[in-house]
Structures are given as structure tokens and as C-alpha cells.
Amino acid sequence: MYLVVDDRFKLLSLGVRDGIDAGNQIGAAVESLTSAYSVCSSASGRDQEEDWLGSSSNQLSSALAGLVQATRCIAAADAATPSGVSDEVLNEFLHSSVLSTQIAYQLVCESRKLEVLEPSQPPEAQANILQRNAEVNTKCRAYVQELTAALNSCLRGLPGQREISEASILVKRRRNDLVRFAEDPTVIEFRATDQVSSADTRTDFTGAAVEFNQATVELTSCYTPTNFGRSSLRFAGAYD
């Protein structure tokens, strides 16, 4: 599925945000269930917490699906761009994305280990269940923290949404200017220069258009602030 630059990063940001929210909800649901399972209550009294855990797990799954889709689109776009990001930056981004899905899976699996305390169980068995549930709760809290860190690291080194939006607006504006110039060269005034033939003008225009397109691709696919600044200068030079 093809996604434009703006959409790729919106999808990535959305996946990260929803993933963090869902992870926190799972952690809260596990803690609530740990308390609910610590007493011998009826099943109906635990339904709400169990439903909460189930819906939060589904939300996390959907968020991670969006994250994976955004990751695939960004990686594919970078592979098709001659001036793509450095291997170090891209590998760190891909590693963070993979790590996020692994931790999310571990979090959901761990949350399912909670056990219900039954009145018919002997005191020793009940004590063991309480201890195991407490350990599950502790591990889930740790997984939630790791998941949040991994998801946030997916955004590290990538341009922010504001930079992407500004770049997209600038590209559209400059492209429209070039189209207008191609249709009517008089719309843009030039400083007096030596006379040149129409063939030379067409050749120069074609070369400028090629450089503009290459600069546009580089500008909209850079990931680090340094690359973004360099690409912006190239884009400005290509437009001039």
C-alpha cells in the first residue's frame, strides 16, 4: 500500500501514541485484576476488569499493526531513495519497531498468567497464587515501561510532524511555481544576462527540473535534523 510522506509519519505517530496508551491501560487492568483475583469473589464481579484487559489488548494489537505498516512504508521509501538515511539511523529505527512488537507480545502473554483465587483451594495454594499474581503484576509494569521506551525511540531521529508538513507545503508551492513558469516563462523575472537560445533555455529548465525532483525526494525522506537541514539547502538551491 502506497502512502505519501505525510501519511507515513502520521501513521507512525498514531501507532506510537496509541501503543503507549494501550500499554498503560493493560498495566492498569493487570493491577486491577491482581486486586480482584486476591479475594474469593464471584465471577461476575471480575467481568469488568477482564473485559478491560481484553479490550486494551485488542487496542494494543491495532496500534502495533499501524506501527508495523508505517515501518514497512518508511523502510521501502528509504530503499527507493538514493540519498536515504544512514544505515545506523534506519537500523535503530527498525530495531525499535521490532522491539516494540516483541515487548507488546510479552506484555499480553504475561498478563494472561493471572490466576483466580478459589474458595475451595487450601490456604497454601491460595498463598502461592497471590505470590504468582504479584510477580505477574510486577513484570507487567516493567514491560509497560520498556514498551513506552521502545515506542518513543521509534521517533528518535525522525523529523517531527511540523517539519514534515512544512516541507510538504513548500514542495507543493514550489512545484506550482515551476508549472506556471513552464507554461509562461514571463511570470518569473530574471536579471539581465547574455542572450541564450530557446534550446539552451529548455535544456537548462529540464536540468533544473531534474535537480528539483531529486532535491524534493531527498527533502521528504530525510530522517535526522542534520540531513533535514542539508536537504533543505539543496531544495532551496534547486528552486533558485
Which has the higher per-residue pLDDT, 51 or 210?
51
98-142 pLDDT, tens digit each: 899 899 999 999 988 888 888 888 989 989 999 999 999 999 999
Task: Give yes or no for residue 70 having a pLDDT over 60.
Answer: yes
**Residues in CB range of 173: below 8 A, 6 or more apart:** none
Rounded Cα gap, residues 214 and 234, in angstroms:
9
Q: Which domains are delineated in the chain? A: 5-153 (1.20.120), 161-239 (no CATH)
Look at 123 and 215; give whichever has higher pLDDT: 123
Cα dist. 58→44, 69, 146, 149, 218 in Å? 22, 17, 19, 20, 37
Q: Which residue has the higher pLDDT, 184 or 147?
A: 147
Orientation of helix 225-239 relative to helix 161-183, angle to 10°: 10
Contact 221, 83 (CB under 8 A): yes
Report the percent of the chain where pLDDT is more than 90: 11
**pLDDT digits 0-9 by tens, 9-40:** 677 777 778 888 888 888 888 888 887 777 76
pLDDT at 58 over 80: yes
Task: Quickly count: other Cβ atoms within 10 Å of residue 224's Cβ.
Answer: 16
- Taking the complete model, does pTM exceed 0.75, yes or no? no
